Amino acid sequence: MKDQRAAGYLIAKIHQRSGRIFTKKLKTHQIQDINPAQGRILFALWKQDGLSIIELAKETGLSKSTLTSMLDRLESSDHIKRIHSTEDRRKILVYITDKNKSLQSKYVQVSQEMTEIYYENFTEKERDQLESYLGRLLDNLVKEENQDL
């Protein structure tokens, strides 16, 4: 057990705590009907509105089935709308609504607050190193996941 490394455990704990803090901050900013996972979808659409389901799945790292159920909830709460492409009726494009556009600045503020928490007591060099290490770890996971396909 001495040789056991703790990266997976630490990442799981960070994810769990981060989600709880993020949810609390969303409520503090009067964002009641969006959870952190849904925020990942909206963030992708704020960067580029009108993504297809496949593009959105790739951008968020969510499976199509998970994404579809999350989009159902976001659509029922009037945060997104799905529209068939005019070029290909089989293709569905996802757009944010006017209601959602008004939440973007609040959501960005919450994200900035989370970034401040993540990097508190880190030097600029340590921040760069951390991001480099996390990027490499993600690359390892993506490579492993793609081997299974």
Instruction: Indicate whether 103 belongs to any domain.
Output: yes
Residue 11 has pLDDT above 60, yes or no: yes
Q: Which residue range(s) make up the domain with 51?
A: 7-147
Say what the pLDDT of residue 146 is: 83
Q: Which residue has the higher pLDDT, 147 or 72?
A: 72
Instruction: Indicate whether 1 belongs to any domain.
Output: no
Per-residue pLDDT reduced to its tens digit, 115-138: 999 999 999 999 999 999 999 999
**How far apart (Å, rounded) are the C-alpha atoms in residues 106 and 117?**
17
Mean pLDDT for the stretch of residues 66-95: 92
**How far apart (Å, rounded) are the C-alpha atoms in residues 130 and 126?**
6
Q: What is the CATH number of the domain that holds 83?
A: 1.10.10.10
Residue 13 has pLDDT above 90, yes or no: yes
Per-residue pLDDT reduced to its tens digit, 29-47: 988 888 888 888 999 999 9
Instruction: Indicate whether 48 belongs to any domain.
Output: yes
Q: CB of 76 within 8 A of CB of 58?
A: no
DSSP-assigned letter for residue 82:
E
SS3 content of the chain, % helix, strand, coil (to 5): 65, 10, 25
Mean pLDDT for the stretch of residues 69-95: 92
The domain total for the chain is 1
Residue 108 has pLDDT above 70, yes or no: yes
Instruction: Indicate whether 47 belongs to any domain.
Output: yes
Residue 1 has pLDDT above 80, yes or no: no
Q: Give the confidence band of 149 by pLDDT, cuts at 50, 70, 90.
A: low
Mean pLDDT for the stretch of residues 81-87: 92
Q: CB of 74 within 8 A of CB of 56?
A: no
Residue 3 has pLDDT above 90, yes or no: no
pTM given for the model: 0.78
Q: Give the confidence band of 2 by pLDDT, cuts at 50, 70, 90.
A: low
Q: CB of 94 within 8 A of CB of 82?
A: yes
Q: CB of 113 within 8 A of CB of 68?
A: no
Instruction: Indicate whether 2 belongs to any domain.
Output: no
Instruction: Indicate whether 141 belongs to any domain.
Output: yes
Instruction: Indicate whether 66 belongs to any domain.
Output: yes
